[in-house]
Structures are given as structure tokens and as C-alpha cells.
Amino acid sequence: MTEPDAERDPARHLLARSRFKRLPDGTQQRTPIPLDEAAAEFAELVEAGRAAEARLDPDDARDQVAAFSRQRAKVIATLLDELSRRLAPGLGAGPVQGDGDLAELAARTARHLRSGTGY
């Protein structure tokens, strides 16, 4: 398997995940995921889980339970993993080069957790 670190730029790519592609010789190649692509994929996952969240989070229990879908849980876990990698001592990421969608998704997710609602 080829390693992506030479190609991965923390200013443009997700640090927590990579894409895997099988090569003709049977080996796998890791390729970095651009931040903007990750934001689009994460937004799709969150939207896919909204129906489950509506069933899990009844109005009468809203103040007692924070309910969210498995899809949103995966997004939250990946965002926290990404944050932990970016906050690790010694990483020189520099300014992010993207459209800001990943930051906006993280902010919306934080608001969701604080409010106890999915909207």
C-alpha cells in the first residue's frame, strides 16, 4: 500500500481519513480527501440520518436526551478525530485552503448538540 503523507497537505486535505483505491497490481493506494469533498460527504450523511433523529428525539424528552443518528455520530467522530490531529503538537498546517464548508458543518453540528435538536 502506498502512503499518502507525501501528497497530503493539511491546508487542503482531511487528516483523519483517506480514500483507498485498488491498483491493477492488487495493491491499494491511499489518496487524500480534499476538505471541501469531506464537507459535502459529511453533509449528505447528516441529511440521511435526519429521519431517524426525528423518531429518536420526541419533543417531550428533548431536555433529557441528546439523540442523533448513526450517520451524524460518524461525522462527529471524524470531526473530533480531525480536530485531535490538527491540535497535536508539532503539526504545521497553516491556513486552511477551502471554501469553509467543513468549518460550517462543524459549527452546525456543535449547535445541534448544544440545542438537543437536529435543526
The tens digit of pLDDT for each residue in 75-108 reads 999 999 999 988 888 877 778 888 889 999 999 8
Q: How far is it, in rounded angstroms, from Cα 56 to Cα 84? A: 29
Q: What is the pLDDT of residue 54?
A: 67
Residues of the chain with pLDDT under 50: 1, 4, 118-119
Q: What is the pLDDT of residue 60?
A: 62
Q: What is the pLDDT of residue 86?
A: 84
**pTM for the structure as a whole:** 0.74
**Which is nearest to 14 in space by CA: 105, 101, 78, 71?**
78
